[in-house]
Amino acid sequence: MLPHAAPFLFVDELLAVAPGTSATGRWHLTGEEAFFAGHFPGRPTLPGVLMVEALAQVGAIAVLLEPRYAGQLPLFGGIDGVRFRRQVQPGETLDLHVEMSRLSARAGKGHGRASVDGETACEVDLLFVIVDG
């Protein structure tokens, strides 16, 4: 569904989707991911920007499953109001949920929340543009 490939595909599991409206997925962090070695040695922590990217990927699934966007590509247009509430460590599962608040022919907005065991790790408002794929 997504044009992403390893090592930049962060959605391991899709739990629910309402095309054009919302999507919920998971990213299982094994600890074998290369970024943990350098972020940070002795205290491995998921980089916040990768949490935001994972949320954007889940949001892209909701967009791309809407028939009118078949063959299109959602790209970042902006990131607003991002807040990191908790560190995410190796071995944890990051639950990802994005709700679309606006979709037009060329752009959209969504709100994402990443959590671990129900505890918020990150929240963000995503803005994106839709281009030919």
Report the CATH number that the domain containing residue 20 is assigned in CATH.
3.10.129.10
Name the pLDDT band for 106 (thresholds 50, 70, 90).
very high
Q: Nearest 5 degrees, angle CA 115-CA 113-CA 86?
A: 45
Q: Is the pTM of this model over 0.85?
A: yes
Predicted confidence (pLDDT) per residue in 17-51, tens digit? 999 999 999 999 999 999 999 999 999 999 999 99
Residue 36 lies in a domain: yes
Number of domains in the chain: 1
Q: Nearest 5 degrees, angle CA 61-CA 118-CA 5?
A: 30
Residue 7 lies in a domain: no
Name the pLDDT band for 1 (thresholds 50, 70, 90).
confident
41 is in which domain, residue-wise? 13-132
Residues with catalytic roles: 39
pLDDT of residue 122: 98
Residue 3 lies in a domain: no
Indicate if the pLDDT at residue 133 is higher than 90: no
Predicted confidence (pLDDT) per residue in 60-105, tens digit? 999 999 999 988 999 999 999 999 999 999 999 999 999 999 999 9
